[in-house]
Structure 1
Amino acid sequence: MAISLRRRPAPRGRYTPNLWPVWLVAPLVLVLALLVSWGIYQYAYDYFAQAAAEQKPAKQVNVNEVLKATVTALTLTGAVLAGLYAYRKQLLSEGDAHRADASQLADRYTTAAEQLGHEQAAVRLAGVYALARLADDWEEQRQVCIDVLCAYLRMPYDPDPAAPEHRAGEREVRWTIISVIREHLRAPDSPTSWCTYSLDFTGATFDGGDFSHSHFRGTVSFVGATFSSGTVSFVGATFSGNVVNFDHATFSGATVDFVAVTFSGMIGFFGATFGGGSVSFDQATFSGDWVSFRRATFSGGTVSFWAARFGGGLVSFEQATLSGATVDFGEATFSGGTEFVWGPLPRPTVA
C-alpha cells in the first residue's frame, strides 16, 4: 500500500507550522539514518581500500580508521540534524506565540465591540479608542476594525435630542469616531495609516465632523449619506482613490466645506440633493476622468464652485434640477480638454 508523503494541510487560522506526522517521520528518519550510516561506511571503506592498494607494497584496510571516519561523518550529520530539530522547535514556539497574540487580540476586539454597544456614552467612547488602538496593533484585521467604526456611523441616528430614539452623548461618540478616523488619514506614510483602506459611510447621518486634510486613497463611499446640520469639513482633503462616491447624498442644512479639496479619479454626485445649508467647493481641484452631478437636485441653500479648477475629463450636470438654490461658478477655470454636459445650471465662462 502506497504511503503519501504529502504534509497535512494546515487549517485556516492556525499558526502551527505545517509538519509531517511524527508516526510517519520517526521510522523514516531511522531508516534514513541506517542507510546514511551504511553509505558513509562503504564510502570510507572504499576510500581507505583504494589508498591502501596504491601503497608499495599494498597494505590491508585499517578498519579502525574506517570506523573513525564513519563516526566523524555521522557526528557532523547528527549536528546538522540537531540544528534542524532546534529549528523545528523554534517554529513550534513561534506558532504558540502567534496563537497567544491572536487570542489576546481577539479578546481585545470582543471587549471593544461590547463597549461600543453599551448604554453609557462614556463606555462607548472607551470602546472607540480601544478599537482604534486594536486596529493599529492588528494589521491583519485592521480593515475589520475600521469597518466596525464605519458601521457604527451607519446605524440609525436622530440628531434631535428630543427624539425618542436619541441616546444621551451619542453625538460626542460619533464625532469621536470621525476624529479618530481623521487622525489616521492625515499621515499616509505612517505604519498605522488607514489611508488605503476602504471607508464605507453609506447611508450615514452627519450632523458635524472634521475630515479636514485627510488623504482618502482607498474606496470611499458616502452613498446616500445625509448631511443634516452642523459643519462637516473636508477642507484640504485629498481624494485619490479610483472612485469618490457621494451618489444620492443629501445636503439638507449642514455647512459642508470641500474648500481646496483635490478630487481625482471618478467623482460621483449622481442624484445628490442640495436642499439647504451651504456646500462649498471653492478652490477645489477636479482632475478625474469624469465629474458627475447628473440628476442632482439643487433646491435650496448655496452651492459654490468659486475658483474651482476642472482639468480634463467630462463634467456633467445632465438632467440636474435647479429650483431655488444659488449655484456660483465665479472664477472657476476649465482646462485640459474638459468636456461639458450642462443642465439648467448657469453655464460658466470657460478659460
Structure 2
Amino acid sequence: MFGYNIGVDNPQDGQRPLTEPTPLSPLVKLTPVTEAETSVPRLRMWPVGWSLAGAMAAALIAVVGLLTTALWIADFPQIRQDGVVTAGTLFELLKLVFAVVAGIGGVAALVVAYRRQRVAEHTNELAVFAHRLAYAADVRAEVSKGLAEAADERAKIETDRNGIRLLNERFAKASEQLGSEKAAIRLAGVYAMAGLADDWTSEKQTCVDVLCAYLRMPYTPPSTVQIHEESNEEDVRNFLAAKQEREVRHTVIRVIRDHLRGGLDHPTSWRGLNFDFTAATFDGGDFSEAAFSGGEVSFERASFVSDEASFARATFSDGRVNFNNARLVGGKVSFAEASFSGGAVTFHGARFRRGEVSFVSANFNAGMVSFDASRLTAGSISFSKAKFRGGQVRFDFAVFDGTKATFTQADFAGSDVSFVKASLNAGSLDFGQSTLRGGVLTFGKATFDGSLLDFRLAQVTGGAVAFGGAKFQAGSINFGMSQFRRGKAYFNAATFSGSRVAFTAATLSGGRLSFEKARFAGGLVSFSRATLSGAEVSFKLASYEGGKVSFKEADLSHAPLIDSQPNGVPPIGMTIPDGATSGLTTEAAGDDASAAPGAVPES
C-alpha cells in the first residue's frame, strides 16, 4: 500500500520543505510514503496464560538442563536412600520448595513486567500515530481549504471572464442598436447602454461617453424641416424621421438627467462623471433637478434652437460646466431656481440671438458664473429674484444689442457682479428693487449707447455701484427712489454725452457719491427731489462741456464738493438750490478719485 505525505511549505514552523507541489496550490507538497508509515501499530503478544505457561516451561527446562549438566559434571553420583527423614533433610526440602515457588513467582513477575512494558510502548506508538493522524488531518484540512479557495478563485475568474465577455457583448449589441436606422431600435439601444453603465462600474464612463457622442452626431431638428400640402413624399419622410430622432435624443437627455438626480452613494448615480456635449444640437431637453458635481460638463459650441432646454432647480457644485461659444437661436435655456456653489459655469464667447436665458430665483453661493465676451442680441436674460451670496457673476466685455437684462428684486450679499468694458446698445439693464449689501456692482469702462439702466427702488447698504470710466451715449440711467445707506456710487472719470442720469427722489444716507474727473458733454444728471443726508457728493475735477447737473429741489445736508469759480459760483451747467452753495470748494480732489471701485486703469 502506498500514499503521499501532505504538508505545507512553511519554513517558519521548523518543518522541512516538502517537494512536489500540487497543481492546485503552490504551497502544498507531496512525498511518497511506505505501507509501514500508513498502517496502525499492532501489539503482538500471547495471551497471559500462554505467556505464563511458556515462561514456566522455559524455566523448568532451564532448571532441568542445569541439573542435568551438574549431574553430568559430577558423573551422575549415586543418591543414598534412607528410610528415615531427618529434620535437617525436611528443612532442606522445604527450602527447595520455597526456592521453586519463588522462582515461579519471579518468572510470573518478569512476564507481567514485560507485558506491561510492551503495552506502554504500544500505547506510546499509538499516541505518536494519533498525533501524526491529527497533524495529517490538519494539513489535509488546510489543503482542502486551499483547494476550495483555489477552486473558488478559479470559478470567480471564470465567472468574471464570462461576465466581462457578456458585458462586452452587451456593449457591442447596444452600440449596434444605437446605429440602427429604425428609431425604435435606437431607443432600445439608449436604455440598453444606460443599463449597461449601471451594471459595468469600471466602464461606466465609457458607456456615458457613447450616449454623449450620440447627442454630438449631426442632427437636423424637425422645426427646420418645412412641409406643406405640396411637399413630396421624401420631404414628409424626412420630417417624420427628424421627429423620431428628436424623441430618441430627448430620451438620452432624460436618461442622463435621471441618473444625475440620485445621491452620490446611489448605485446607479452618474454624478462626478464627465459629460461631453461639445457642438451638440439641442432643440429642447430636460436636465431639471440634475446635480452636476465634480467632473467636467462641456456644452462648448453647443447649439440651442427652438423649444426650451431646462436646467431648472439643477445643482452645480465643485465642478466645471462649460457653455463657451455656445449658440442660442430663438430658443430658451432655463436655470430657474438652480443652485451654483463652488466650481464654475462659463459662457465665454456665447452667442444669444432672439433667445431667452432665465436665472430667475437662482442661488449663487461662492461659485462663479461668467458671460465674458458673450453677445446677446434681441433676446433677454433674467436674474430676477436671484440670490448672490459671495462668488462672482461676470459680463466683462459682453455685448448687449437690443437685449433686455433683468436683475429685478435680486439680492446681492457680498458678491461681485462685473460688467467691465461691457457694451449695452439699445437694450435695457434693470436692477429695479434689487438689494446690494456688501459686494461690488462694477461697470468699469462700460459703454451705454441708447440703452436703459434702471435702479429704481434699489437699496444699496454698505456695498458699491461703480461706473468708473464708463461712457453714457444717449439712453438713460434711473436711480429714482433708490436708497443708499452707507453705500457708495462711483462715476469717476465717466463720460456723459447725451444720456440722462436721474436720482429723482433718491435717498443717500451716509456713504459717498462720486463724479470726480467725470466729463459732462451733453445730457443731464438730475438729483431732483433727492435727499442727501450725511452723504458725501463729489464733482471734483469734473469737466462740463455742454452737459447739465441739476440738484433742483434736492435736500442737501451740505453742499457737494465741486471745483467752483473763484467767486464761488458753481460751474456752468450745474444747478444748486439757493443756500446750498456755502460749502463749495475749489480744493483739488485727492488720490482716491481714481482709486474708487470700478475705476479701470487706462492700460
For Structure 1 versus Structure 2, the TM-score category normalised by the shorter chain is 0.7 to 0.9
Q: Which residue of 2 aligns with 1:237?
A: 314
User: 2: CA distance between counterparts of 1:241 and 1:292?
Assistant: 16
Q: Which residue of 2 aligns with 1:187?
A: 262
User: 2: CA distance between counterparts of 1:105 and 1:318?
Assistant: 49
For 1:200-235, what per-residue CA distance to the aligned partner results, in whole angstroms no more than 9, with x for missing partners? 111111001111111112321111111111111111
- The answer to whether structure 1 residue 170 and structure 2 residue 232 are counterparts is no
For 1:175-215, what per-residue CA distance to the aligned partner results, in whole angstroms no more than 9, with x for missing partners? 11111111212222532111222211111110011111111
- The answer to whether structure 1 residue 126 and structure 2 residue 201 are counterparts is no
CA contact (8 A) 1:266 1:288 kept: no
- The answer to whether structure 1 residue 275 and structure 2 residue 350 are counterparts is no
Q: Which residue of 2 aligns with 1:257?
A: 334
Q: Say if 1:227 and 1:339 are closer, same or farther in 2 by CA, change over 3 A.
A: closer
- The answer to whether structure 1 residue 110 and structure 2 residue 172 are counterparts is yes
User: 2: CA distance between counterparts of 1:26 and 1:260?
Assistant: 63
User: 1: CA distance between counterparts of 2:142 and 2:213?
Assistant: 54
Q: Equivalent residues in 2 for 1:2-81 (5 A)?
A: 29-30=29-30, 62-81=124-143
Q: Which runs of 5+ in 2 are unaligned?
A: 1-20, 38-119, 227-234, 438-603
1:337 Cα deviation after fit: 4.6
| Cα root mean square deviation, aligned | 2.9
1:336 Cα deviation after fit: 2.4
The match for 1:82 among 109, 123, 144 is 144
CA contact (8 A) 1:158 1:165 kept: no
Q: Which residue of 2 aligns with 1:266?
A: 344
CA contact (8 A) 1:290 1:315 kept: yes
3-state SS of paired residue (2:152): helix
User: 1: CA distance between counterparts of 2:383 and 2:330?
Assistant: 18
1:86 Cα deviation after fit: 0.9
3-state SS of paired residue (1:29): strand
3-state SS of paired residue (2:288): coil
3-state SS of paired residue (2:328): strand
- The answer to whether structure 1 residue 286 and structure 2 residue 370 are counterparts is no
3-state SS of paired residue (2:356): strand
- The answer to whether structure 1 residue 141 and structure 2 residue 203 are counterparts is yes
Q: Which runs of 5+ in 1 are unaligned?
A: 1-20, 39-58
The one-letter code matched in structure 2 to 1:136 is: D
The one-letter code matched in structure 1 to 2:137 is: T
1:63 Cα deviation after fit: 4.1
User: 2: CA distance between counterparts of 1:176 and 1:291?
Assistant: 28
CA contact (8 A) 1:182 1:210 kept: yes
Q: Equivalent residues in 2 for 1:150-169 (5 A)?
A: 150-159=212-221, 160-161=224-225, 167-168=241-242, 169=244
1:28 Cα deviation after fit: 6.9
1:313 Cα deviation after fit: 2.6
CA contact (8 A) 2:25 2:150 kept: no
For 1:252-295, what per-residue CA distance to the aligned partner results, in whole angstroms no more than 9, with x for missing partners? 11111111111122121111111122111111112234321110
For 1:99-118, what per-residue CA distance to the aligned partner results, in whole angstroms no more than 9, with x for missing partners? 11211111111111001111
Q: Say if 1:177 and 1:289 are closer, same or farther in 2 by CA, change over 3 A.
A: closer
| Percent of residue pairs identical | 42
CA contact (8 A) 2:302 2:325 kept: yes
3-state SS of paired residue (1:30): strand
Q: Select the structure of larger CA radius of gyration.
A: 2
CA contact (8 A) 1:220 1:241 kept: no
Q: Which residue of 1 aligns with 2:154?
A: 92
The match for 1:311 among 375, 381, 389 is 389
Q: Say if 1:292 and 1:30 are closer, same or farther in 2 by CA, change over 3 A.
A: same
Higher relative contact order structure (alpha carbons within 8 Å, sequence separation ≥ 6):
1
Q: Equivalent residues in 2 for 1:187-206 (5 A)?
A: 187-188=262-263, 189-206=265-282
User: 2: CA distance between counterparts of 1:24 and 1:180?
Assistant: 47
3-state SS of paired residue (2:254): helix
1:71 Cα deviation after fit: 2.7
Q: Greater helix share, 1 or 2? A: 1
CA contact (8 A) 1:267 1:288 kept: no
Q: Say if 1:25 and 1:237 are closer, same or farther in 2 by CA, change over 3 A.
A: closer
Q: Give the TM-score normalised by structure 2.
A: 0.48
CA contact (8 A) 2:388 2:415 kept: no
Q: Say if 1:333 and 1:90 are closer, same or farther in 2 by CA, change over 3 A.
A: same
User: 2: CA distance between counterparts of 1:192 and 1:24?
Assistant: 38
User: 1: CA distance between counterparts of 2:325 and 2:26?
Assistant: 66
The one-letter code matched in structure 2 to 1:119 is: E
CA contact (8 A) 1:294 1:319 kept: yes
